Amino acid sequence: MTATTDGGPGGEAARGTPSARTKTSGTIPEPASGPGTGGLTGRTEELAAEAARRATGHLLARQHPDGWWKGDLETNVTMDAEDLLLRQFLGIQDETVTGAAGRWIRSQQREDGAWPTFHGGPGDLSATVEAYVALRLAGDAPEEPWMAAASAFVRERGGIARCRVFTRIWLALFGWWRWDDLPELPPELIYLPKWVPLNIYSFASWARQTIVPLTIVAAHRPVRPAPFVLDELHTDPARPNPPVPRAPLSSWDGFFQRLDRALHAYRKVSVRPLRRAAMRSAARWIIERQENDGCFGGIQPPAVYSVIALHLLGYDLDHPVLRAGLKALDEFAVWPDKDTRMIEACQSPVWDTCLATIALADAGVPADDPALVKAVDWMLGEQITKSGDWAVQRPGLPSGGWAFEFQNDTYPDIDDTAEVVLALIRVDHPEPERVKASVDRGVRWNVGMQSKNGAWGAFDADNTSAFPNRLPFCDFGEVIDPPSADVTAHVVEMLAALGLEHAPHTRRGIDWLLAEQERSGAWFGRWGVNYIYGTGSVVPALVAAGLPASHPAIRRAVGWLESVQNEDGGWGEDLRSYSSAEWVGRGESTASQTAWALLALLAAGEREGEAVRRGVRWLAGTQNEDGSWDEPYFTGTGFPRDFSINYHLYRMVFPLTALGRYVRGEPFGGLRKGA
C-alpha cells in the first residue's frame, strides 16, 4: 500500500468547488497532443493496446500464489481510533501499535485541524473527535499545534454533543459522556419476531450485526477509568450536553424521540431475569455467527462491539472466542511501512479476485491461462454452502452465494455472486462440470434473492422497512438494504450472459432499472460513487440483455455521460454528490470512474466517438510506468454520505477492463451466450 500522506498537517485542504466541464460529441481526427489527450502522440488504438499490455502485466504480478487478489481497503481514521480505544478498554495497549497508529492518524489531518472521511473532503466532526482522542492516547498533548487546531474545529461545530451516537458510545465507555444521554437499546430486542417492526431482521445485515452486541454493551453501561479529561472538546465543559428542542409529536422524528424516552424509563423497571436471558440469547446469536477466522461479520464495527459485549458477559481475553476475535481484528491491519499502521474496515479478496479475472479475460489473457484457472479454483473454494441470515426472508432457498471477504459464511452477497459468476464463465477450466455446478448454484441463489419489486439488494431480500432509519440511535449511516440499480444491473448482466435475458426474473429486473433512470439520463450508484458508477453498471447490463444502443434510455445515458466529461478527457465524481446536486457527475478525473464511463459508452456503441477516444487517451496518458494508476480519491461507497471507501485495486481492474474492451471491440469480453 502507498500511504496517503498529502492530507496531513501542512497538506491538502478540501476542494472548494466542482471542477469545470466541457460537453463534446461527434468524431474528430486523431490529435497530435493537447487537452484531453494526456499529451500523448500516436493512434488511440495503439496507445490503448500498450496501456492494456502494461496493466495486464502489473495485475498478473499482484496475484497471490493461492490464486486470489486483494487490494487495500482504505476508509477513514475512525477505524484506527476505535482500534486504540478498544485496546485501552480491554487493557491490551501496545506501545508499538499505538505509535504506528498515531503516525497514520496524523498523516490524514487537514490543514484546518480536522479529519475528513474521504480524501479531499471536508472536515468531519465525529471523525475529528475520535482521531483527537486516539492521539491523546498516543501521547499527543492538547497544546500541540495540530491538537489545538483539532479541538478548535470540534468546538466551532458544537463539540462532542453534536457527534454521532457511535462516537459518543466510545466516549461513554470511559466516562467522557453520560450513558443516560445516549439512545436506549434494550437487549430484549433479540426476542421480537420478524413480523414486528424494528425486529433485528428489519435492519440491514451490517447494522444487525452491530446492534445485537451493542444491546449488551448498552445494558451494562461500562465505564473504564479515563486517562485524561476532554474538557477542550466541549463548547461549555460545565454544560456538555445542552438540551435541544424535541421534534413535534406529529412527526416521525418526534415519535421516535419519545419512544426512546419510554425505553429509558423501561430500563428502570425491566424484569431482571428477562434482561439477563436476553443478553444470553444475544451472546449465543453473536457466537453462532463467528467465522472460522475469528471475525464477526467480516467487518470492523460488529467485530469490535462483539468482543466488548462478550467480555462484559465474562468471557476473558484468553477464551477461544475472544482470542480468535482479537486475532482477526489484527489481520485488518495494513503497514504502509514499518512505523505506520492503518486499519481496514473490511477485506475484499473475493470482490477483487472476480473483478481482476474479468479484467484480465476481457483484456485478452487466454481463457485457459494458468493464472485465470488458479483464480477460478480459489473462487470455487469460496462458494458458501451453508444457510445464513438471508434465509429469514427466503426460507428453503438453497445456498450458493459468495461473500466479499475471506470468511463470512453468514452473509454472502448478491453483488459478489453475480460478478463471480461472470468471472467463472470467462475461463476455460479443466473441470467444466464442476464450474457449471457452481455457477448453477450461484445463479439459483441470486434469482431466489430477488425482491418483490423485481430488483435486488446487496445482502437480503425485501429489506425495505422505513422505521430503522428513524431511530435516534441510527445516525451512523444507512441501516437498511433496499434494492439498488448497480446490484440489480450486475445480476441482469449475469443472467443475460447465461442466455437468460428473456426469463421472467430478468425482465422484471430490466423493467425496474428502466423505471429507476433519472431525468438526467443517469442512474444512482449505491455502492460506488455515484451516478457515474450507477450508469456505468446499468448500461452494459441493459445492452447485454438485448436493449439496442438506439433505445431512448441508452441514448439519454450516453448524453449525460458526454455532458459530464472533464476537460482533460477523464471522468470523476466527488462523494459530495450524495448530498449536493452541484457535485453530481463532477470531480477530479479518476482512473476507476473514467473506466466506468467508458464501459457504458462502449456498450452503447460509442467506440468511435470523441468522448471514448478522449477517455481512453486520458487513461493511457495517466498510467504509471509499472502499468498501474494513482488514485487517492475515494470512489467506493459504504453508506452514501456517511462512509466512503478507497478500494486500492479499483484503479487497476476497471481501467484494464475498459481498455481491453476498447482494444478488442468486444463489449462483453467475447462471452458466448449460455457459456
Active site amino acids: 415
- For 14: left if phi > 0, alpha if psi spans -120 to 50, otherwise beta; the answer is beta
Q: Is 571 within 8 Å of 561 (Cβ atoms)?
A: yes
CA distance 543 to 528: 21
What one-character DSSP code corresponds to residue 636? E
Neighbouring-strand partners of residue 657: none
Q: How many CB atoms lie within 10 A of CB 183?
A: 20
- The upper half-sphere exposure of residue 358, i.e. CA atoms within 13 Å in the direction of its Cβ, equals 29
Nearest C-alpha neighbor of 493 from the set 582, 554, 419: 419
Which residues, in sequence order, are CB contacts of 498 under 8 Å at separation 6+?
421, 425, 439, 443, 673, 674, 675
CA distance 307 to 243: 33
Residue 255 CA from chain centroid, whole number: 31
Q: What Cα–Cα distance (Å) separates residue 412 from each residue in 405, 407, 409, 649?
A: 9, 10, 6, 21
Phi, psi of 455 (to 5 degrees): -110, 180
Q: Computed from CA positions of residues 46, 47, 50, 53, in that sequence, does the dihedral angle turn out positive or negative?
A: negative
C-alpha cell at 619: 487513461
What one-character DSSP code corresponds to residue 639? E
Q: Is 15 within 8 Å of 588 (Cβ atoms)?
A: yes
Which residues, in sequence order, are CB contacts of 250 under 8 Å at separation 6+?
none
Q: Is 110 within 8 Å of 142 (Cβ atoms)?
A: no
User: At which residue does the C-alpha cell 450472459 appear?
Assistant: 497
